[in-house]
Structure 1
Amino acid sequence: MSKLVVLILAAGNASRMGFPKQLLKWKNTNLLQHAINSVTHIENDGIFLVLGANYEKIISQINPYNLHVLKNDAWKQGLGSSISFGVQEISKCHPEINEVLVMLADQPLIDAYFLNALINKHNESKNEITCTLYKYQKLGVPAIFNKSYFEELSQLNGDKGAKKILEKYSDRVTFIDGSHVISDIDSKEDYEVLFKNHH
């Protein structure tokens, strides 16, 4: 039977924001806790959270209950290093796990409904990777990777993250359309517009 762990990536510094992006207000909490709350409403066999920059400040503002919180001291190396670090820890702690769902903390329109749709698509498909289709036909996270990709995920580094693997194995990828819910928050302006439109 398939066993799936969720890996939430929230280690970045968000230097352009001048404030830990993970703690920006969203609904009745903050962006990171909102992402954690969404994951608790899907069936999973564990939730791993990778923090890095502003670790102490962020950990004090979330509920770590039922989370495996990891601190990536190499967070400056980019998203790839956090994926690598997270997957290595998952493999160590849970060798029986055969799938990982990788997601970001700054995509607040991604909810349990979308994540469940992604999981259902993955379960129906014979492909080993199921990801999210962005605008302009780009593929990205949230994405589910079969265990056969754990080795490559654990060797990632730099800022490209999992996109490198999605591009390399594009012929083995299934996706669901997420263009309506993908709104990365890269600046204060992005956040303000998104917040205004969804509150």
Structure 2
Amino acid sequence: MNNPEYNLKIILLAAGKSQRFNGIKLLAKIQQQDTSITLIEHALHQISGALNTLNISQKNIRVATGLYHSQLSALFNDPNVLDYCEDAHLGLGHTIAQSVRHILNNDQSTSHIMIALADQVALSVDNYIALIEESVVSPTKLVCAKAGQELMPPAIFTSAYFSELTHLKGDKGAKPLLHKNKENLKTVSIPHAEKDIDTRQDLDNWHNDK
């Protein structure tokens, strides 16, 4: 990317407890062509593909972990991609807040942060590219996916919202910020952004619908 003022970091949220899945959800295998990979690897492959296409460093991805940090870390050759959030058990808001603080402590020149969910199984490389390109074109705007009338992650936040992100608490994520600032929001239509995996039945349904 040839815009030195656009410094995007990505937080891939992978700190959930998988309470409804009956197992470690992000280690569940999904079919991809002739092989199978874990849900977390699938999400990372899509984001990495988008960053490669847009010439953005892979080092800009951080995977926010919690309860299953040690199990997830076994998948990664580079442990530095993982960002353990000790407050993750307090809820999604705490995980986001802590992850954003970690990013800003490491790189104060960060201009934008994308927050993505590791269980949005239907998202593709092209979907992530579309969101990032919209953000590059409209660098002062919030950007998120839209499924029907619903605002959905992934969402890209400008530095104007970093302070609010660092003060999120409890189980509420960043979606209220999107609704509160609709006048400064650009959306990208991604109907399948609403597909996520909460249960094993969700995973079976997704495989059957492919």
Fold shared by both chains (TM-score > 0.5): yes
2:158 to 146, 159, 173: 146
1:70 & 1:76 partners in 2: Cα distance?
Answer: 14
2:204 & 2:171 partners in 1: Cα distance?
Answer: 25
Normalised by the length of structure 2, the TM-score is 0.88
RMSD across aligned positions (CA) = 1.6
Matched, 1:9 2:17: no
Shift of 1:31: 0.5
Shift of 1:49: 0.8
2:90 & 2:39 partners in 1: Cα distance?
Answer: 23
Secondary structure, aligned partner of 1:180: helix
Amino acid at match of 1:151: S
Relative to structure 1, the CA distance from residue 70 to residue 126 in structure 2 (aligned partners, 3 Å threshold; closer, same or farther) is closer
Normalised by the length of structure 1, the TM-score is 0.92
Q: For residue 175 of structure 2, what is the aligned residue in structure 1? A: 163
Query: Structure 2: where are the runs of 5+ without partners?
Result: none
* More deviation, 114-123/39-48: 39-48
Shift of 1:129: 0.4
2:206 & 2:50 partners in 1: Cα distance?
Answer: 24
Matches within 5 A, 1:1-199: 1-26=5-30, 27=32, 28-43=36-51, 44-45=56-57, 46-60=60-74, 62-65=75-78, 67-125=80-138, 127-135=140-148, 137-198=149-210
Query: 1:49 touches 1:67 (CA, 8 Å); kept in 2?
Result: no
Amino acid at match of 1:124: V
Shift of 1:150: 0.6
Q: Which runs of 4+ in 1 moved over 6 A?
A: none
Identity %, equivalent residues: 27
Greater helix content: 2
Count of residues in correspondence between the two structures: 196
1:163 & 1:42 partners in 2: Cα distance?
Answer: 23
Query: Structure 1: where are the runs of 5+ without partners?
Result: none
